């Protein structure tokens, strides 16, 4: 087990959240992950780490892998200025992960609750969701209800909106 996974598993276990883990080769995009997720029961999800123009606000956008995030529309939803992808350095500083391993479980490293979370409300229809455990060589599934509970316990601002 990778050292970056251990805190994720510990956080989920502490909340009494059951999960299943699936090993696979490293993946760096949602399209690559989809090849390995086809046999996994659950909704495939992608995670985007974004920052505003000034770089003083950061967002984790979580949506179904089949969707495209329109950043201009998302700006209107969040009420911020122009959004762009956060650098690998920002990603490491705020979520403790590297590109290709972005996951809501990175929020366990955001002790100042700086990252605002935007979740596509369509994901509430999914029974199980698929995420990386902060490592792109594995995926785990948890129930939609447990995912919502995990987010609630992290203390970050979370908004469920239609993306």
Q: What percent of the chain has pLDDT over 70?
A: 99
pLDDT in tens, 55-86: 999 999 999 998 988 898 999 988 998 999 99
Q: Which residues pair with 119 in a beta bridge?
A: 62, 160
Look at the block and give the residue holding tokens 């009494």. Answer: 16
Q: How many CA atoms lie within 13 A of 53 on its CB side?
A: 6
pTM for the model stands at 0.94
Q: Is the pLDDT of residue 146 over 90?
A: yes
**What is the C-alpha to C-alpha distance for residues 96 and 76, in angstroms, rounded to an integer?**
28
pLDDT in tens, 31-60: 788 888 888 999 999 999 999 999 999 999
Token pair, residue 142, equals 């948890």
Q: Report the pLDDT value the prediction gives residue 163, as an integer from 0 to 100.
A: 85
**What is the C-alpha to C-alpha distance for residues 34 and 28, in angstroms, rounded to an integer?**
11
Judge contact between 102 and 60, C-beta under 8 A. Answer: yes
What's the mean pLDDT in 8-26?
96
| Cα→Cα distances 25→36, 44, 109, Å | 9, 16, 25
Rg of the chain over CA atoms, in angstroms?
Answer: 15
Q: Is the dihedral of CA 25, 28, 32, 34 positive or negative?
A: positive
Q: Report the pLDDT value the prediction gives residue 36, as an integer from 0 to 100.
A: 87
């Amino acid at each position: 087990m990778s050292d970056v996974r251990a805190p994720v598993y510990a956080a989920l276990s502490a909340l009494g959240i059951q999960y299943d883990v699936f090993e696979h080769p490293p993946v760096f995009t949602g399209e690559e992950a989809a090849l390995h997720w086809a046999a996994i029961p659950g909704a495939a999800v992608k995670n985007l780490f974004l920052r505003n123009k000034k770089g003083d606000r950061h967002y984790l956008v979580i949506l179904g892998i089949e969707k495209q995030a329109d950043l201009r529309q998302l700006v209107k939803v969040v009420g911020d200025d122009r959004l762009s992808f956060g650098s690998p350095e920002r990603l490491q500083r705020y979520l403790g992960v590297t590109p290709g391993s972005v996951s809501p479980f990175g929020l366990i490293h955001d002790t100042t609750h700086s990252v605002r979370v935007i979740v596509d409300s369509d994901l509430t229809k999914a029974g199980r969701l698929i995420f990386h455990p902060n490592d792109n060589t594995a995926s785990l599934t948890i129930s939609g209800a447990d995912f919502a509970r995990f987010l609630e316990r992290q203390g970050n601002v979370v908004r469920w909106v239609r993306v």
